[in-house]
């Protein structure tokens, strides 16, 4: 990785957290400031700062993010009732950590938006 983010520290286990899933492409763990009863972060292991930085070599990792989201939603018993997946991009999209990641939210009726 070119530079270290809080997520890269979690991926490399320099920072402790309860990792729910990890393989060679993505890592998933619970958000420390949850916006819903279930709030899980799924991050690419490769440092990709924003969606704008994605290229064709990243397609497998992006697909893995979605398949891992579905797997975790089933494990967390929210797949039948539904859940939300959010990817923010840059400042107007409210991206806070510049390491591509997806929020998996569920466990209650979420309403029109999460802020």
* Distant-in-sequence, close-in-space partners of 52: CB < 8 Å, separation ≥ 6: 89, 90
* Distant-in-sequence, close-in-space partners of 14: CB < 8 Å, separation ≥ 6: none
CA distance 93 to 44: 18
**How long a stretch of residues is the chain?**
115
Q: Which residues are known to be catalytic?
A: 101
Burial of 78 (0-12, 13-18, 19+ CB in 10 A): buried
* Distant-in-sequence, close-in-space partners of 57: CB < 8 Å, separation ≥ 6: none
């Amino acid at each position: 990785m070119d530079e270290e983010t809080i997520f890269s520290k979690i991926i490399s286990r320099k920072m402790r957290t309860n990792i729910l899933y990890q393989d060679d492409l993505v890592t998933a763990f619970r958000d420390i400031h949850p916006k819903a009863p279930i709030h899980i972060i799924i991050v690419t292991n490769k440092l990709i700062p924003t969606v704008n930085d994605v290229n064709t070599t990243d397609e497998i990792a992006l697909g893995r993010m979605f398949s891992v989201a579905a797997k975790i939603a089933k494990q967390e018993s929210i797949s039948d009732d539904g859940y939300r997946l959010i990817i923010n991009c840059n400042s107007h999209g409210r991206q806070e950590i510049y390491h591509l990641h997806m929020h998996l939210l569920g466990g209650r009726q979420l309403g029109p938006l999460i802020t």
